[in-house]
């Protein structure tokens, strides 16, 4: 069964636009779990323009399901992850000024670096997922680095989906099959939404987890957080 992890970065973005504690990201994390989410994802960036390092520390003891911290493994990020010991860390090759994640790792070119990072987190009992594009070679490279999972970068799927769903999902099926053959767990995320999520899961039912933030929080502005989470769960609990 695919699990839903809610990325709460956008809630922190709204808070930071005004200052103070409204909306409260810790309460949002607790409520997402209460409403059925099976995980919480945060993506702290060095400039702390949304989730702050302090938020990670505040949220960690409140999570009762799964806590996923994602980001570029610069030294301060690695220290934060080791301090808070999430269930999962997702390694993303973001530039410091990236608006959002826009590519996966070249796991072949960065093999030595990623291997070292995976080994460090494994010693601390943290599951490691590497963010990659829908390229079987990059998936196989992640396995060679010692990752436990890959997260497929699904923006290309989401962009092509409205015009040609079958063509959009085809390279992701191949990458997902490569992950299964390598013994890797499979996550997916970026621009998944209520329109394209079910088709993705039907074609790749062995997906372990989807991480969804922007679309889900946007939908919650109209539907309410509880009803939105239930709607997303209905799209993935199809087997």
Partnered with residue 70 across adjacent β-strands are 90
Q: Are 103 and 153 in contact (CB under 8 A)?
A: yes
Helix spans in the chain (H):
9-18, 25-34, 53-59, 75-84, 111-123, 136-144, 155-160, 165-182, 197-203, 214-223, 225-236
Q: How far apart are CA 59 and CA 62, in angstroms?
A: 5
Tokens linked to 107 = 């796991």
Nearest-CA neighbor of 12 among 46, 41, 55?
55
- Residues labelled as active-site residues: 43, 70, 190
Region of 107 (left: φ > 0; alpha: ψ -120 to 50; beta: rest) is alpha
Q: CB count, 10 Å around CB of 193?
A: 16
Answer whether 15's CB lies under 8 Å from 52's CB.
no
């Amino acid at each position: 069964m695919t699990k839903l992890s809610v990325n709460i970065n956008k809630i922190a973005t709204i808070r930071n636009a005004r200052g103070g504690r409204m909306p409260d990201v810790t309460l949002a994390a607790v409520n997402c779990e209460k409403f059925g989410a099976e995980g919480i994802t945060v993506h702290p960036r060095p400039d702390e323009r949304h989730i702050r390092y302090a938020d990670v520390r505040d949220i960690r003891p409140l999570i009762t399901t799964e806590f996923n911290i994602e980001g570029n493994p610069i030294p301060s990020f690695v220290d934060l992850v080791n301090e808070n010991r999430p269930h999962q860390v997702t390694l993303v090759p973001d530039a410091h000024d990236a608006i959002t994640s826009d590519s996966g790792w070249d796991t072949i070119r960065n093999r030595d670096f990623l291997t070292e990072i995976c080994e460090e987190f494994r010693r601390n009992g943290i599951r490691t997922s590497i963010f990659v594009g829908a390229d079987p070679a990059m998936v196989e490279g992640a396995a060679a680095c010692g990752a436990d999972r890959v997260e497929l970068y699904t923006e290309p799927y989401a962009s092509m989906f409205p015009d040609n769903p079958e063509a959009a999902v085809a390279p992701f099926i191949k990458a997902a099959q490569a992950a299964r053959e390598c013994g890797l767990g499979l996550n997916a995320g970026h621009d998944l939404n209520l329109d394209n999520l079910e088709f993705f899961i039907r074609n790749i039912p062995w997906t372990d987890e989807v991480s969804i933030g922007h679309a889900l929080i946007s939908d919650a502005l109209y539907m309410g957080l509880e009803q939105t989470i239930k709607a997303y769960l209905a799209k993935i609990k199809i087997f």
